[in-house]
Structure 1
C-alpha cells in the first residue's frame, strides 16, 4: 500500500524543515507532496530539498490540498499540516486498519506546549470528534483515493473545509478514530490566548453549522476576533 502525504503551506519556513525531516524514514512507502500557496519566506526552497514534489496552487488549504491530491499517486492520502508530526507507527496502523471497516478517519491529537490547558483542549477535541464523527485538519485526515474522489474532494471554501469533507465522508462511513496521537503545535492557542481561542473556535463552528459564510468566518479567524472584521 502506497501513501501520499500532502502538506499545504503558506509561509511555513519556521516549521517545514522539521516537518519534512521527520517524514524521511517513511519515503520508501510514502510520497511527500508539498503544495505551496505563495510563500514569501523561502518555504518552497526548503521543501524542495526534502519532499518528492513541491507544487504551487492558489492560496487556500482546500485548493492546495485538492491540487496535491490530483498529483498524488498513493492509494491512501494523508493531509498533514506543517506544524504537526505523525506518530512513529502511523503507516503501519493504517495498513492494518483502513477499510476495516472505514475508508477514512483521523488520529487522536496532542498539543505541544507546557500550559496544562493544552492537554485538556486536546482531550476535548478527541472526544468531540468521536461523538460527532467530524475530524479536523489538525488531527491529520486520511482517506483512500476512492473515497476522496467519491466525496468530491475538499469543497472550495475559505474555512471549515475539514468539517465539510467529514460530513460528506460520513455518508460513506463513520470515521476510523485511531488513538495513536499526532503532535500539533499549540502556538496559536498560546499566542492568541487560550480561553479567547477556545471561544473563537467554538463560535466559528457554531456559526458555520448555522449557515454563516465561510469566507466571513475565515476573515474572523485570521484576525482572531469573534465579531469584528
Structure 2
C-alpha cells in the first residue's frame, strides 16, 4: 500500500525558511505516511527550485497567488490525502500519528492548533484567539495546515484561485467539517513583531470582516504586503 499523503507547500522567495519546515516533514517520511512533496512556486527569484530538487520534491511554477498555487499543487499531487502547509509553518512532533489516525476515521478535514515562534503574553493571546475562532466558528487560517482527502477536496471544488483569504474560503465551503487537533504548529511571527501584535491582529480582523462582508480578495491583497 502506497503512502497516502501528498504535502503541498506554496512558495514565493521562501528558500530561507523552507529547510526548517522540511525538517519537520521528515517525521512523516520516516513513518511511511508521506508519498510525495510538491512545491508550488509563484515565480521566486531565489534558489527554491534547486532546494526542491535536492529533497526530491516535485516542483511546479505559475503565477503568484496562494489560492492558485495551492490549487495547482493539488492538481499535480498523486496522494489520496492532501496536506497543505505554508512554507514558514513547522508541523508539531507527533503530527504523522495524528494524521494517520484522522485518515483511518475519515472524518472531514483536519487542521492543527496554532502557536507562534515567539515568547511572551501577546503570542499566547493571539494564538488563543485563533484557536477559539477555529473551534467555535470553524474558521482556521492556512498557517494551521490543512489535511483533507482528495475526494472531499474535489467535492467542495478545491481552493479558489485568489491571492488572499483562500483559507477562509475553503473553510466556509467545508461548513464545519473540520477537526482541530490539540497539537500545535509553530508559525513565523515576523509580521507581528514588525508591526506590533495589537496592530497586526487588528488588521487581520478588519481584513477578515471586510472579506466576510463581500470585499474582493484582490482588493484586500493590495494592502496586505
TM-score, normalising length: structure 1: 0.91
Q: Is the 8 A contact 2:108 2:177 kept in 1?
A: no
- 5+ residue gaps in structure 1? 223-229
C-alpha change, 1:21 and 1:50, in structure 2 (3 Å) is farther
Q: What secondary structure sits across from 1:14 in the alignment?
A: coil
C-alpha change, 1:200 and 1:122, in structure 2 (3 Å) is same
C-alpha change, 1:184 and 1:51, in structure 2 (3 Å) is farther
Q: Which residue pairs with 1:227 in the alignment? A: none
1:183 to 170, 175, 186: 186
The answer to whether structure 1 residue 150 and structure 2 residue 155 are counterparts is yes
Q: Which residue pairs with 1:134 in the alignment? A: 139
Q: Which residue pairs with 1:225 in the alignment? A: none
Q: Which residue pairs with 2:12 in the alignment? A: 10
Quote the RMSD (CA, aligned, Å). 1.5
The answer to whether structure 1 residue 108 and structure 2 residue 105 are counterparts is no
C-alpha change, 1:189 and 1:51, in structure 2 (3 Å) is farther
- 5+ residue gaps in structure 2? none
Measured in 2, the distance between the counterparts of 1:76 and 1:214 equals 27
Measured in 2, the distance between the counterparts of 1:175 and 1:133 equals 7
Q: Which residue pairs with 2:210 in the alignment? A: 207
Q: Which residue pairs with 2:53 in the alignment? A: 48
Measured in 1, the distance between the counterparts of 2:184 and 2:199 equals 25
1:193 to 192, 196, 199: 196
Q: Which residue pairs with 1:22 in the alignment? A: 24
